[in-house]
Structure 1
Amino acid sequence: MKIVGIEAIPFAIPYKKPLKFASGEVRTADHVLVRVHTDEGLTGTAEAPPRPYTYGETQESIVAVIGKIFAPQLQGLTVLEREVIHERLDRTVGNPTAKAAIDMALWDVLGQAAGLPVSGLLGGYTDRMRVSHMVGFAPAAEMVAEAERIRDTYGITTFKVKVGRHPYTDDVAACWALREALGPEVELYIDGNRGWSASESAQALRELAPLGLTFAEELCPADDVLGRRWLVRQTTIPFIADESATRPAEVTRELLGGSATAISIKTARTGFTTSQRVLGQCQGLGVEVVMGNQIDGQIGTLCSVAFGAAHRHTSRHAGELSNFLDMSDDLLTDPLRIEDGTLRVREGAGLGLVIDPEKLARYRQDH
C-alpha cells in the first residue's frame, strides 16, 4: 500500500474566549488538517496545531513544508516503511507538528488496513482516560468559576493552572482560591510556560506548598541552565519538562542534567512513533509522564487519548484532553464527549474519526 499524496488543508475556528498564558494568547485555532492518501483508497487523517511562540511553526509554514518538501519525499513509499519515512522527515530540521501529523495519519491508515483501532495497535491498555482541564489567566474569581463549571458539567476533578504572571503573587492567590473553593479532593498542578525566574519559582512553590500540588511544569526557562537545576533540586514536587523536551535528545538532556523529573508527552509534536520512544525513555529512567495538550482541537485530542489510553504509564495520570471545549466548533461529524471526568477512545478501525465535509468547507482557508 503506497503513499500517493499528502494534503495539508489550513482551517480556522474561533475560540469562545481567548486562551491566555505566559508564552502567548490564542484567539483562533489556526490549524492544518493533514491527510495521507494511499493507492488502495485509504486515507489517514490528523491535525497539526502551529504554535509559533513555542516551535516557530505557522499555519503557512506547515502547509508549505508538507506540500513542497515532505509530500514529494514520501510519495511512492509504502505505509510500512516507517523508518524510511522518518529518516526522510528528519532530513528537515524542526517542523515538529507537521511531522507528527503525517506520522499519526499513517498510523490511521495502518489501523484501517488492519481493521483495528490505533489505540489497540499501540498497546491497548484501557479504553478511556481521566481528563485534566486547563485554567488560563484571569482574575482569581473567574478562574474559580470556570473550574467549578467544568467540574459540575463534566465531572473533571484535575485542573492544570496556568501561572507565570508578574507579579507572581497573582498566581499564588489564584491557586489558593482554587484549592479553597474546590476542596482537597480535587487535583491541582501548575504550568508556568517559562514565565518566572528560578528565584520567583522557588518563592512561589514555598508559598504554594500547603496546597499539595501534583506537578509543577516549565516554571522557568530551561535555557537558564543553572537556575533551573537549582530550582529542581530543592523542590519535592515532580517537575515536568514540556516545551523544553520536544524530542528524545532533549528528554535525555533535561532528565540527566537534573532540569526535570517528569515529562509531558504531546502527540501533536511527536506523533505516535516518537512518543513511544519518549515513553520508553521515561519508563527506563523511572520518571513519570503526563499526556499534554497543544491546545488541540477534537482531532488532536482524539489522537492524544488514543495514545494515552494505549499505555499503562501514560494512563496513570489525568490527560490534558479538554481544550477543545473552548472552541466554538470543530470538524468531526461525531463530536467528542467528556462524561464522568473521562474521555473514551473511539471504536472502529484506525483513529475512528470522520470529517464533516460541510464544516471543512466552511472553515478552510485555502479557497
Structure 2
Amino acid sequence: MNKCHLVYLACTAAVVGAGLGAAPASAGHMTHVVHAGQSIQKAVDAAAPGDTVLIAPGTYRESVTVTTPGLTLRGVGRGVVIRPAAAKATKTTAKSTGGAAAKAADTCAAAGNGICVVGKKNRKLEDVTLASLTVTGFTRSGVYAVDTDRLTVRKVTALKNGVWGIAQEASVRGVFRGNTARDNGDAGLFLANTITTEQGATDTGGTLVERNRLEGNRIGVTVRRLRNLTVAENHVTGNCAGVFVVGDENKPKAGAVTVAANRIVRNNKSCPKTARLDALQGSGVVMTGTEDTLVTQNVIRDNAGKSPLSGGIVLFKSFVGTTSERNRISDNELSGNLPADLVDQETAKANTFEANSCQVSRPAGLC
C-alpha cells in the first residue's frame, strides 16, 4: 500500500464526512475509506471513475454492486469480511440509500450474490479491481460479474457460498489471480459465455485464471462455452472434480483453452447427480465437446472415483453427442488416478496424447 493510503487510515478524524472518509489520491482520483459499521455501498456510490474504496478490517453485512469503471475495491490487511445482510437491513436498504445504485445493490442481494460487478451488453464495464476481501455465506455467488472488460480479482477468498465462489459471464480479458475459493456449492471459479441461455462459445480475449487455491467445491474451475483462456499454476484439491472445460452442440465450439502447470490432486469428494451432470468423484481434468485445447505440464495425482467422469485426464463423450477434436494432452505427470490416468471416451481420432508420464490408460496405449 502506498504512503498516502497509510496516512489516511492513521488520520481518520481528518477525513471523516457524513460517516465516510474521502481524500485525494494520485492523478486526481479519490480514496474513500470505509470503517466497520459504515456502508461499503455508500462509498462505492460516491466514487468516480478511477477512485479507490479502501475497506478497514471488520465484518460488513451487505451486498455491493459496482457499476463505475476503473474502480478499485480493496480490503486493508486481514479480516475484511462481507456477509449477507440481516433480513431487516435488506428490507430497508432502498429507503436508506435511494437511487439507481441502491436499486442495483438490492437486485444483487435479492439474487443471492455478495459483490456484483455489472456492465451493459453494448458497453462493458472496464478496469474494475476487487482485492483482499473475504466474501462468504451468500446463497448464490460470492462474486458475480457480467459484461466486464479487464476485471481483476485478486487475493479474494470466496467461502461457503451456495453456488459459485467467483463467477463471470459475458466478459473479456479478465484476470483471476491468487484467490481462494473453498467449500462453495458448485464451482469455486466459474466462467461462461452466458449462464441462462444457449449460444456458441465466445472469445474471452485472453482471460487468465492463475495461482488460485480451489478446495472443497463441487468443481474447482469450470470453463463453459468459452475460447482463448488460460488456466495455469492453480492448486486444485479436495473437490469432486478439478477442472472442467465444457462445450455443447452450439458453434463455434468451446476450445482454444490452455490448462497448464496446475497441481490437481485428490479431488475425491463425492457429489450427487444433477439435472445437467452425472455424479462426480475423482476427476482431475475433464474435457467434453471441446476443440484445440492444450493440457500440458500438469501434476495430476490420486484422483479416484467410480463416476463415468472419474480419472486423471478424461475426454468425455458429450451428453449431446458433440465430439472433442484436435485437443492435445502432453507432458503431464500423472499417477494414482482411478480408474486410469488417461481416459479417452471419444470416437473422434483427432485428439493426441504424447510424452505424458503415466501408468494406466483407457483404452490402453495412451501412456
TM-score (norm 1): 0.25
* Bigger Cα Rg: 2
